[in-house]
Amino acid sequence: MLPLCQSGISPVFVVKKSSEIQTRGKEMRRAKISVIGAGNVGATTAHWCAAAELGDVVLLDIPATEGMPAGKALDLFQASPIMGFDSKITGTTDWSDTAASDVIVVTAGIARKPGMSRDDLLSTNAKIVGDVAEQIKNTSPDAIVIVVSNPLDAMVQRTFQVLGFPPSRVLGQAGILDTARYRAFLAMELGVSVEDITAILLGGHGDTMVPIPSCTSVGGIPVTQLIASDRLDSIVERTRKGGAEIVGLLKTGSAYYAPAAASAQMVEAVVRDKKRLVPCAAYCDSEYSVGGYFVGVPVILGGSGVEKIIELSLLPDEKAALNKSIDAVRELVAAMGRPTA
């Protein structure tokens, strides 16, 4: 078992150095990051990416939104002289503006409302995400694609089905968000800094996600030595329902600050080739005996996307919980069905 399953997640917006990538002509240019969907999650992802100078950002939404993405992009760019960041920010409804993107973050789809589960979004968002993937395939065939739309595990599977990209270049954002919620709740419980808590979660993004107590520590001390098992169970349950808790409080929307920050951290790992060990929804075949689905696992995330999947030695109850979560992902994908021509 790895002695440390995940380093603390540092905020991406404190770094002020522009990211550059090598082109075929040996020239250096800033990375091009396109965010699909200019709602709360998409616009906030664009904010974090621009403020961290991860590259130039394109914020795209559907034609029916008219000037909305352009207005948000202009507003964000006008913040740059105040906050001291230097990124080009474009708002558009034209897919040609996203052409030759290095990284694409997909946030498109309808958001949850109170009383809805992530799975309730399945059929509507599968159609939206499938259409988005068709556009990406035509305009940015070399991009690394990060899916944020819910239900996450099914939506990244749909994106992969339509794109036909190598699995290393398609992944889903969920594990970083879920782990951040888990760490936040543990910090609240113990009255310590979130920076001192390391943790990891596996499996699907939803009620079957699997926190791994054997990979959770506070300042190097196993969390099981600091929190009673019944109390730890309640924190795990709150983590699983973390998104629903926010939906219930907001009443007219869903979480966006933390999902966007998690997405931006993944973008940073790619454009700066950080080799971060983070939990992401990655394509697993023989790994964890998944059999060809996207589920949350620890990966090395760098300039070429998912560079390695880390297989942990799990305790029997952790393995059983992960198998249950994998079964739930399989059922969700089966309910979604194959994309239609």
Q: Which residues pair with 170 in a beta bridge?
A: 145
On the question of pLDDT at 152 being above 80, the answer is: yes
Query: What tokens were used for 242?
Result: 């973390």
User: Under CATH, what is the fold of the domain 175-336?
Assistant: L-2-Hydroxyisocaproate Dehydrogenase; Chain A, domain 2 (3.90.110)
Phi, psi of 224 (to 5 degrees): -65, -15
- Is there a common fold for 12-172 and 175-336? no
Phi-psi region of 211 (alpha: psi -120 to 50; beta: other; left: phi over 0): beta
H or E element that contains 305: strand 305-309
User: In the chain, what are the domain boundaries?
Assistant: 12-172, 175-336
Looking at residue 259, what is its pLDDT?
Answer: 97
CA dihedral (283, 155, 165, 30) in degrees, to 10, reads -100
- 68 has pLDDT over 60: yes
pLDDT at 125 over 70: yes
Band (1; pLDDT cuts 50, 70, 90): very low
For residue range 264-289, what is the model confidence (pLDDT) as tens digits? 999 999 999 999 999 999 999 999 99
Most confident of 242-246, 291-295, 335-339: 291-295
Nearest by Cα to 44 from 323, 262, 212: 262
- Tell which CATH classification among 3.40.190.10, 3.40.50.1820, 3.40.50.720, 2.60.120.620 matches the domain 12-172: 3.40.50.720
Name the residue among 227, 221, 209 with its Cα closest to residue 318.
209
What pLDDT does 112 receive? Answer: 67
Active-site residue list: 205
Report pLDDT for 22: 53
Range with top average pLDDT, 5-14, 111-120, 287-296: 287-296
Q: Is 117 buried (19+), middle (13-18) or exposed (0-12) by CB count in 10 A?
A: middle
* Residue 61 to residue 108: CA distance in whole angstroms: 8
Query: What span, in angstroms and rounded, lies between the C-alpha atoms of 135 and 56?
Result: 20
Whether the predicted pLDDT of 6 surpasses 80 = no
pLDDT (tens digit per residue) in 230-255: 999 999 999 999 999 999 999 988 99
Average the pLDDT over 42-59 and give the result: 98
Q: Binning pLDDT at 50, 70 and 90, where does residue 118 land?
A: low
Asked if pLDDT for residue 23 goes beyond 80, the answer is no
